[in-house]
Amino acid sequence: MLEGRVAVITGGTRGIGLETVRLFKEQKAEVILFGSKADSVEKAVNELASVGMEVKGYYPNLNNMEEIDKTIKEIISEYGHIDILVNNAGISANRKIEDTTSEDFSKIMDLNVNAIFNMTKAVVPYMKEQGSGVILNTSSMVSIYGQPSGCGYPASKFAVNGLTKSFARELASSNIRVNAVAPGVTRTDMIANLPEEQLAPIVKTIPLGRIGEPRDIANAFLFLASDMASYITGVVLSVDGAARS
């Protein structure tokens, strides 16, 4: 489905991001993953290499436009084009408002919102020049319903939805599609480490009767990245088993 495409995936060293890297590689894309640190990038690249998947890895500061631009230019120099950008890097929060500092809030917004703006700004000129592109953002079910604590996280994901819809309208005339995926509870590291007695009540709130797997979310990214979604832009796709608050 993605043969001949070049994809850049931020937050690609674990969880949903790493599974999306695997799936895109299975579908014959050239994939470049971004991570936050050299060691985590190296670990992910080596893990993929052990199963015959060759990917490149970088670790630019996603809040530093100079580092981002330099890295994107390197990728363009090597591959000639970037067809897909998956803005997946992000952090969560669950502290009550009285325990959250302004620095905590700013840190969440920097990675979950500003980094998406920065990465999108960096790749759009190249996508416009080639006459096509796909930009995908990771949102969350809490962007729709909020959450009882950790206000910075749903606030950032509300902003992701706003960026997604606005970029979609702005860039449509350049044949650049922009969509988001809003996962529900998914078996990432944090969830996988929960004891069964904590996990069971969560599962009961999900009509499909299970939590999501990283592959469920990666499948949504694949669909939206592919030509099967060629007339879809400005959408925030919920992938949450019908979990509604």
Residues marked active site are found at: 153
- The helix (run of H) or strand (run of E) holding residue 180 is strand 176-183
Q: What is the C-alpha separation between 234 and 90, in angstroms, rounded?
A: 20
Q: What is the C-alpha separation between 208 and 182, in angstroms, rounded?
A: 16
| Token pair of 156 as six digits | 């950032």
- The helix (run of H) or strand (run of E) holding residue 136 is strand 133-138
Contact between residue 6 and residue 58 where contact means Cβ atoms under 8 Å apart: no
Which residues are paired to 8 by β-bridges? Answer: 32, 85
Which residues are paired to 237 by β-bridges? Answer: 181
- The helix (run of H) or strand (run of E) holding residue 138 is strand 133-138
- The helix (run of H) or strand (run of E) holding residue 84 is strand 84-87
Listing DSSP states for 10-63 in one string gives: TTTTSHHHHHHHHHHHHTT-EEEEE-SSHHHHHHHHHHHHTTT---EEE---TT
3-state secondary structure (DSSP) of residue 79: helix
